[in-house]
Amino acid sequence: MTDLTRLSAVETRQAIASGAASAVEVAQAHLDRIAAVDDRVHAFLHVDAEGALAQARRVDTGEVTGPLAGVPLALKDVICQEGIPTTVGSKILEGWRPPYDATLTTRLKGAGVVILGKTNMDEFAMGSSTEHSAYGPTHNPWDLTRIPGGSGGGSSAALASYQAPLAIGTDTGGSIRQPASVTGTVGVKPTYGGVSRYGLVAFSSSLDQAGPCARNVLDAALLHEVIAGYDPKDSTSIDAPVPPVVEAARSGDVKGLRIGVVKELQGDGYEPGVTARFNEAVEVLRGLGATVTEVSCPHFGYALPAYYLIAPSEASSNLARFDAVRYGLRVGDDGVRSLEEVMALTRAQGFGPEVKRRIILGTYALSSGYYDAYYGQAQKVRTLISGDFRKAWDSVDVLVAPTCPTVAFPLGAKLEDPLAMYKQDICSIPANLYGGPAASFPAGLSEGLPVGLQVMAPTLREDLLYLVGAALEQALPASVPTLDWE
Residues marked as catalytic: 76, 151, 175
Q: How far apart (Å, rounded) are the C-alpha atoms in residues 386 and 431?
A: 9
Q: How far apart (Å, rounded) are the C-alpha atoms in residues 121 and 97?
A: 17
Contacts (Cβ under 8 Å, ≥6 apart) of 468: 254, 257, 259, 285, 398, 400, 441, 455
User: What one-character DSSP code corresponds to residue 140?
Assistant: B
Contacts (Cβ under 8 Å, ≥6 apart) of 105: 75, 79, 80, 81, 82, 115, 199
| Longest distance between any two alpha carbons in the chain, whole Å | 73
Q: Is 346 helix (H, G, I), strand (E, B) or coil?
A: helix
Residue among 310, 438, 458, 427 at smallest CA distance from 380: 310
The sign one gets for the Cα dihedral 271, 454, 107, 233 is positive
Q: Is 271 helix (H, G, I), strand (E, B) or coil?
A: coil
C-beta atoms surrounding 136 within 10 Å: 12
Residue among 334, 411, 403 at smallest CA distance from 41: 411
Q: How far apart (Å, rounded) are the C-alpha atoms in residues 153 and 179?
A: 6
Contacts (Cβ under 8 Å, ≥6 apart) of 404: 149, 174, 177, 178, 181, 182, 274, 424, 425, 426, 427, 428, 452
Q: Is 143 helix (H, G, I), strand (E, B) or coil?
A: strand
Q: How far apart (Å, rounded) are the C-alpha atoms in residues 43 and 139?
A: 8
C-beta atoms surrounding 50 within 10 Å: 8
Q: Is 402 helix (H, G, I), strand (E, B) or coil?
A: strand
The sign one gets for the Cα dihedral 293, 299, 303, 304 is positive
Where does 77-185 show beta strands of DSSP type E? 114-119, 166-170
Q: Is 181 helix (H, G, I), strand (E, B) or coil?
A: helix
Where does 373-413 show beta strands of DSSP type E? 398-402
Q: What is the CA radius of gyration of the chain?
A: 21
C-beta atoms surrounding 46 within 10 Å: 17
Q: How far apart (Å, rounded) are the C-alpha atoms in residues 319 and 369?
A: 22
